[in-house]
Amino acid sequence: MQKRERLYEGKAKKVYATDDARFYIIEYKDDATAFNGEKKGTIAGKGVVNNRMSNILFRMLEANGVETHLVEELSDRETVVKAVEIVPLEVIVRNVAAGSFSKRFGVEEGRELEAPTLEYCLKDDALGDPMINDSQILALGVATEEELRTMGALALRINGLLKDYFSRIGVRLVDFKIELGRYEGRIVLADEISPDTCRFWDAETNRKLDKDRFRRDLGGVEDAYREMFERVSR
Ligand code: TMP
């Protein structure tokens, strides 16, 4: 597989065309941003952890019947993926109150939710990724009714699989964000699942093992990423 022109550079990844129109190569960076790019930094080794952890999780999900964009890990930071068309939504699932949910509803962080929640944000940096509801998604033509149904069910199914997986390695899956793509008429899991896109708390101590350490200047950022990588690699 030959890497061709760069198609896109995001905050954490670059996307390249390849000599095969069915595939892209993504390359993970160590760059970290928060609060819609207002806060910037680097997390040494993050690109390697996110690439390899995401691929481990995607393989686990594939084994459980969830189609993902993963084709082949090429190197520490590079992966061949299906050339999906990203649906411009961040799909967020929560099991425990934290972050913007705690703030919006005045609920203390750490409260176990009585049922998982499903939220959508429109991926639009200029607008600060506003929250969007089902009828607004349909009204703007962001996704069809069928796609929306598929995405919602898939997100909750992925939550169940990830929750079980992480509980076996002593991690509480507080919440996460996924992105889905269209590929040959199907909705497939794309982007990444990593400490950048999930809240992971140690099951015994509730110690944060994710990007909140960077967002909130808690220190020990690299150690947290490394620790999560070690746990999923065991
Ligand atoms: P929130 O509580 O800030 O809304 O975040 C919910 C989850 O989504 C959390 O696991 C972090 C993840 N997330 C992203 O992956 N990208 C983002 O831009 C934001 C704001 C959150």
Instruction: Please give the mean pLDDT across all residues of the chain.
Output: 98
154-199 pLDDT, tens per residue? 999 999 999 999 999 999 999 999 999 999 999 999 999 999 999 9
The full set of domain ranges for the chain reads 3-82, 85-220
Contact indicator for 170, 202 with CB cutoff of 8 Å: yes
How many CA atoms lie within 13 Å of 93's alpha carbon, on the beta-carbon side? Answer: 20
Instruction: Evaluate whether the domain defined by 3-82 bears CATH number 3.30.200.20.
Output: yes
The arithmetic mean of pLDDT across residues 93-101, rounded, is 99
- Ligand 1 centroid to Cα of residue 99, in Å, is 8
Cβ–ligand 1 contact at 198 (below 6 Å): yes
**pLDDT interval class at 1 (50, 70, 90):** confident
Q: Is the pLDDT of residue 225 over 90?
A: yes
Mutate to test the pocket of ligand 1, among 175, 200, 210, 211 (most ligand atoms within 8 A of CB): 175
175 vs 119: CA distance, rounded Å: 11
How high is the pLDDT of residue 155?
Answer: 99
CATH fold match for the domains 3-82 and 85-220: no
pLDDT single digits (tens) 63-83: 999 999 999 999 999 999 999
Reported as a single tens digit per residue, the pLDDT across 108-130 is 999 999 999 999 999 999 999 99
Residue 29 confidence (pLDDT) above 90: yes
Burial 138-154 (b: 16+ CB within 10 A, else e): eeeebbeeebbeebeeb
Domain 85-220 fold is D-amino Acid Aminotransferase; Chain A, domain 1 (3.30.470)
With a 6 Å cutoff on the Cβ, whether 176 touches ligand 1 is yes
| Cα–Cα distances in angstroms (integers) from residue 126 to residues 37, 106, 131, 217, in the given order | 11, 27, 13, 25
Q: Percent of the chain at pLDDT above 90? A: 100
